[in-house]
Structure 1
Amino acid sequence: MSELVFEDVSVRYGRLTAVDGVRLTVPSGQVVGLVGESGSGKSTLARAAVGLSPVTSGRVLLDGVDVRRLPRRKPLQMVFQDPYSSLDPRMRLGESITEAMPPGAFPDAAARRAEVARLLELVNLGPDRADQLPGQLSGGQRQRIALARALAGQPKVIIADEITSALDVSVQGAVLNLVREVQRRLSLSMLFISHNLAVVRYLSDIVAVMYLGRVVEAGPAEQVLTDPRHPYTRDLLAAAPSAHRDLLADVSGDGLGDTEPPDPHHPPTGCRYHPRCPIGPLVHRDRTVCVDTDPAADAARRHHEAACHFAGRA
């Protein structure tokens, strides 16, 4: 088991700051669910951890070591969103899994074949799949192979980026059950990225909420999802589909359902959520502090580290 720490991590592309000073810890053996709207910086943060996006400032630490100083085959693996593009269509599945194994871990072909069979069984696929091509599998089966390939690298931490969003609803549950089973069996630390709050609640020990490149609230999953302190978290929960509201239902009030996110190239001053906030200056004109002062500066002293001057208040 290992701890993954994002220490004031920022990622910039020209004038765009996609990730801005993120502090987040994935504790050893636990699952951190990272949620937020599209464009909030979730995937960029994940890609920064595995070296696919450059870290402009700050550090990503794995057990106290900057991941940029680790060998190319890091003990940190990522499972991507699209199972159709994450596998080489011309490479047999057994070869694809073998390619991800650490050099020298299995010295002969028989040992490598045995390890491939073990990993296929771990993700609930038969060893005979090793001779097949990705095109012979369904989307859910391909995502299982992608997970097996990540596990072949003998990781200490897994980052899963929206791994069920490209799958049919009928197979999403099976993949999530598999992820939870594998994570618990292997005691892996995991950063699980999703826009689906029901999925995050099912898998996560800790929930972190991102908005415009920043983590605006984080804490134990049940606490954050049942007693959210940041108005953005409340609006996400209000917008989530439920048994009483279908996917196309409008969100009432002045929150997510009524306004578009600001231009990330020109984020608002003060609190970045204030142009959309149902408890900010849009409603309470005297709350000018939301426009003038960044609440992230003293978020650590608030419950759930909420980046809101009026956290938990109406």
Structure 2
Amino acid sequence: MSELVFDSVSVRYGRMTAVDGVSLTVPAGKVVGLVGESGSGKSTLARAAVGLSPVSGGRVLLGGTDVRQLPRRRPLQMVFQDPYSSLNPRMTIGESITEAMPRGAFPGRAARRAEVARLLELVNLDPDRAEHLPGQMSGGQRQRVALARALAGQPDALIADEITSALDVSVQGAVLNLVRSVQRQLDLSMLFISHNLAVIRYLSDLVAVMYLGRIVEAGPAEQVLTDPQHPYTRDLLDAAPSAHKPLFDLEPSTTADAEPPDPHHPPAGCRYHPRCPVGPLVRNDRELCLRADPAEDAAPRRHVAACHFSESGGHEPAISRGASV
């Protein structure tokens, strides 16, 4: 296991900044849940870590080493949302897993075959599945294969990007239980990305909340999810269905009709102010949000919250460093 660190990472596509100066730490052997709505930059940050998106600024470090300097067979692996697109449809399951093994790690065909069988058993699949093609398997089985393939690279850290969102509800729980079991068994450092707060709560030791390319709140999972300091985090929690409220809340909201800002032209000051239910949209005495960026002095606030009116004080948690939240 190794610590995975995003050090002021930015990702730009032309004039649009998809990820803006994100600093985030995944401690060794821990699970960090990264949550936010679609378009917040979660997947872009993950793809930057594994070299699939260009890092325009900052660094991604694994065990203190810039990932761009790691060998081709990187000790950082990623499991994607769509398991079918991440597997070659013309290769058998065994061939796909074997391809991901570090060169020379298992000399000889028999050793590689035995390792494939071990990995399939680890993800609760029959080793006989090694001869099957991806198209012969269900979505849940393919996602297990994708996990086995990632583990074949012998990673120190693993990134899982919305890996249950494409699965039937009936199999999501089984895959989540598998992920938690494998993470604990192998003591992996893991960045788990999801828009589902129930999933984040179930798996994560720490939580980071992302909005419009930035981390707006971060801290221990139980603290963030029970005592959120940023209005966006509270809105995410309020929007999540629960046993105590109906699935669809039809009560009118002051900010319900507010559209997300254009990521090409993020608003000045607090990026959430055009949608904030406690900001200048509804309170005339909070014009500070229109002109001052709360991320610049977020470090001393609880959960490093990028909000001028969150509770102040406390210490910066290990999950996030610096004021660039």
TM-score scaled by structure 2? 0.94
For 2:196, the equivalent position in structure 1 comes to: 196
Question: Contact (CA 8 Å) 1:34, 1:194: kept in 2 or not?
Answer: yes
Match of 1:277 in 2: 276
Seq. identity, %: 80
CA offset at residue 258 of structure 1?
Answer: 2.9
Partner AA of 1:103 in structure 2: R
Report whether the alignment pairs 1:308 with 2:307. Answer: yes
- Give the C-alpha shift of residue 249 in structure 1: 3.4
Deviations 1:70-98 (A, max 9, x none): 11211000000001211111100000000
Residue aligned with 2:217, SS: strand
Deviations 1:190-234 (A, max 9, x none): 000000000000000000000000000000000000000000000
Within-5 A mapping of 1:135-154: 135-154=135-154
CA distance in structure 2 between the partners assigned to 1:260 and 1:165 by the alignment = 24
Corresponding position of 1:76: 76
Instruction: Verify the 8 A CA contact 1:34 1:192 in the aligned structure 2.
Output: yes
Q: Which residue of 2 aligns with 1:161?
A: 161
Task: Describe the SS at the equivalent of 2:299.
Answer: helix
Indicate yes or no: 2:114 matched with 1:114. yes
Over aligned residues, Cα RMSD in angstroms? 1.2
Any idea what the Cα deviations from partners look like across 1:225-274, whole Å, max 9, x if unmatched? 0000000000000001112445443465334x332210000000000000
Are 1:267 and 2:242 counterparts?
A: no
Q: CA, structure 1 residues 250+191, in 2 after alignment: closer, same or farther (shift >3 Å)?
A: farther
Structure 1 residue 286 corresponds to structure 2 residue 255 = no
Contact 2:18/2:44 (<8 A) preserved = yes
Q: Distance between the aligned counterparts of 2:203 and 2:187, measured in 1?
A: 13
**TM-score, normalising length: structure 1:** 0.97
Q: Distance in 1 between matches of 2:311 and 2:260?
A: 22
Q: Alpha carbons of 1:251 and 1:79: their partners in 2 closer, same or farther (altered >3 Å)?
A: farther
CA separation in 2, counterparts of 1:264 and 1:187?
37
Letter of the aligned partner of 2:294 in structure 1?
P
Q: Which amino acid aligns with 1:53?
A: S
Q: Which amino acid aligns with 2:37?
A: E
Unaligned runs of 5+ in 1: none
Whole-angstrom CA distance in 1 between matches of 2:129 and 2:158: 23
For 1:218, the equivalent position in structure 2 comes to: 218
Matched residue, 1:126: 126
Q: Match of 1:166, SS?
A: coil
- Structure 2: any 5+ residue segments left out of the alignment? 313-325
